[in-house]
């Protein structure tokens, strides 16, 4: 349902009240910085967008305190699909948005606010690390774990010997890469003074810091699901499957 009050507010007002709305406007190509003086309704009309859809997404961006799912009781294939479809997709989409923010803000304000140049450098390092990391998980580790789960469910299922030996090896690499990403995020948080923008910051500047903070928070959940739930269970699962296979032989 569309909020008439929200639709009547200017784009700039909406972002000032809810900085996460900036990500929604960015998604739809609505200028919330220099061109934010028109109403949300008018901005949507100019872009031939459905105002109700945009307003609903802005309202959803406010939601907090959502109950955490019971990850521990999920099957490993289901957990993997959740991680890929929720957190991997989020990372990929967010890196695209962050790239636009960090380049614009560093270009416009970097000379007068030098930490932005270091933030840009660290962001690109983080983006490169995570892009390769996700690829390795989705093409190497996750398919192998799914094959283990299938073999556990049906011993007749064909089971392949991975080129990396035991699952402990790629998991150790993924954990190390998680640590590296976490360290980069901490450096960025410190440079932003825990995401506190200067009083003179424009809306794009504010949106960059807000998105960086959101990104770090999502990464914490993402890494938790893998390090503390998926990986330990995958190690135990491999031991069980290999023990059963050896017993059959």
Are 175 and 213 found together in one domain?
yes
The per-residue pLDDT for range 120-158, each reduced to its tens digit, is 999 999 999 999 999 999 999 999 999 999 999 887 776
Confidence (pLDDT) at 88: 98
In a domain, 67, yes or no: no
* Number of domains the chain contains: 2
Q: Do residue 235 and residue 174 come from a single domain?
A: yes
Q: 139 and 237: one domain? A: yes
Structure tokens at 153: 């469910």
Q: Indicate whether 107 belongs to any domain.
A: yes
Q: Say if 191 falls within a structural domain.
A: yes
Instruction: Return the pLDDT at 9.
Output: 94
| Per-residue DSSP letter, 202 | -
154 occurs within a structural domain: yes
Distances from the Cα of 25 to the Cαs of 40, 43, 77, 90, 236, in angstroms? 9, 10, 34, 17, 45
Same domain, 138 and 205: yes
Domain that holds residue 46: 4-60
- Using 50 as the pLDDT threshold, list the residues of the chain that sit under it: 1-2, 249
pLDDT of residue 2: 45
Same domain as 196, residue 166 = yes
Q: Are residues 40 and 77 in the same domain?
A: no
Number of H helices, E strands in the chain: 12, 0
């Amino acid at each position: 349902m569309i909020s008439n009050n929200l639709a009547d507010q200017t784009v700039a007002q909406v972002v000032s009240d809810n900085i996460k709305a900036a990500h929604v406007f960015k998604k739809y190509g609505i200028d919330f910085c220099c061109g934010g003086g028109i109403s949300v309704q008018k901005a949507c009309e100019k872009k031939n967008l459905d105002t109700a859809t945009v307003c609903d997404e802005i309202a959803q961006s406010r939601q907090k305190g959502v109950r955490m799912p019971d990850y521990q009781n999920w099957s490993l294939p289901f957990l993997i699909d959740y991680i890929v479809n929720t957190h991997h997709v989020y990372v990929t989409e967010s890196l695209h948005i962050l790239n636009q923010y960090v380049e614009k803000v560093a270009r416009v304000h970097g000379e007068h606010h030098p930490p932005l140049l270091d933030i840009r450098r660290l962001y690109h390092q983080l983006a490169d690390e995570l892009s390769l990391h996700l690829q390795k998980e989705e093409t190497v580790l996750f398919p192998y774990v799914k094959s283990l789960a299938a073999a556990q469910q049906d011993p007749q299922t064909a089971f392949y010997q991975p080129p990396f030996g035991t699952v402990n090896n790629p998991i150790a690499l993924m954990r190390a890469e998680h640590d590296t990403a976490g360290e980069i995020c901490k450096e960025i948080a410190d440079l932003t003074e825990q995401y506190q923008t200067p009083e003179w910051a424009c809306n794009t500047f504010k949106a960059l810091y807000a998105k960086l903070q959101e990104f770090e928070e999502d990464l914490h959940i993402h890494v938790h699901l893998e390090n503390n739930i998926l990986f330990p269970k995958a190690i135990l699962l491999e031991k069980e499957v290999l023990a059963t296979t050896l017993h059959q032989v």
